[in-house]
């Protein structure tokens, strides 16, 4: 069985496109990450969203709300490890 609860539109809110401003902000955040963290993020993002190995960069794959949500969770986990 599928996920329960929520109205039809809410189930797919993660597929909503990000604005150009949101995408630029996320790219800036990722670019400012320490290299080791950015490498780990890239591996986890590729795995989670099934980005093929032959794709050289994930930058153009960050286009939807679910990608922003993934980055937000990664950022929180990174901050918890530092703290």
SS3 at position 17: strand
Give the model's pLDDT for residue 30. 97
Question: Is the separation of the CB atoms in 75 and 34 below 8 Å?
Answer: no
Residue with tokens 């996320």: 26
What confidence tens digit (pLDDT) does each residue in 36-82 have? 999 999 999 999 999 999 999 999 999 999 999 999 999 999 999 88
pLDDT for residue 28: 97
As a whole number, mean pLDDT of residues 19-39 equals 97
- Provide the whole-model pTM: 0.83
The residue with greater pLDDT, 21 or 1, is 21
Given a contact cutoff of 8 angstroms between Cβ atoms, the answer to whether 22 and 52 are in contact is no
User: Can you give the residue ranges of every domain in the chain?
Assistant: 17-82
The stretches of 14-64 forming alpha helices (DSSP H) are: 20-32, 35-49
**Sole residue written with tokens 């949500």:** 69
């Amino acid at each position: 069985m599928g996920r329960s609860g929520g109205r039809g539109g809410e189930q797919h809110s993660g597929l909503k496109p990000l604005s150009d401003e949101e995408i630029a902000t996320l790219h800036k955040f990722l670019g400012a990450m320490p290299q080791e963290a950015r490498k780990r993020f890239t591996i986890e993002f590729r795995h989670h969203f099934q980005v093929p190995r032959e794709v050289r960069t994930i930058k153009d794959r960050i286009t939807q709300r679910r990608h922003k949500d993934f980055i937000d969770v990664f950022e929180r986990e990174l901050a918890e490890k530092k703290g």
